[in-house]
């Protein structure tokens, strides 16, 4: 019974952490930042940043140009997305364990 209570407590802490992270700001799932230098007859060799995704997330497109001053914000949002994804997996596993224990008790 104590193991069951420990599982419920850890499940509650993970859910609280999930809500805290999602309230911090924007969250981007399955995205990455890519810098590309212009080719051809471009006047400057300054890198252009793009937020990319495998799925169309940015108004039906898979990439979005990002200002170089906003790169840090997008990196933080991507890190939050990765962390939330791992938390969701952990929460799902704990919920399955709790359901299994509740099934054995009932």
pLDDT tens-place string over residues 26-63: 999 999 999 988 888 888 888 899 999 999 999 999 99
Rg of the chain, C-alpha, whole Å: 20
What is each CA distance from 37 to 71, 78, 97, in whole angstroms?
16, 22, 49
| The predicted structure's pLDDT at residue 8 | 93
Helix (H, G, I), strand (E, B) or coil at 68: helix
Quick check: 106 pLDDT over 80?
no
């Amino acid at each position: 019974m104590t193991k069951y209570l420990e599982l419920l407590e850890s499940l509650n802490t993970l859910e609280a952490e999930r809500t805290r992270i999602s309230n911090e700001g924007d969250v981007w799932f399955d995205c990455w930042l890519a810098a590309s230098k212009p080719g051809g007859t471009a006047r400057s060799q300054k890198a252009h940043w793009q937020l990319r995704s495998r799925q169309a997330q940015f108004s039906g497109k898979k990439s979005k140009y990002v200002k170089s001053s906003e790169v840090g914000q997008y990196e933080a949002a991507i890190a939050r997305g990765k962390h939330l994804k791992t938390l969701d997996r952990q929460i799902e596993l704990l919920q399955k364990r709790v359901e299994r224990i509740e099934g054995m008790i009932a």
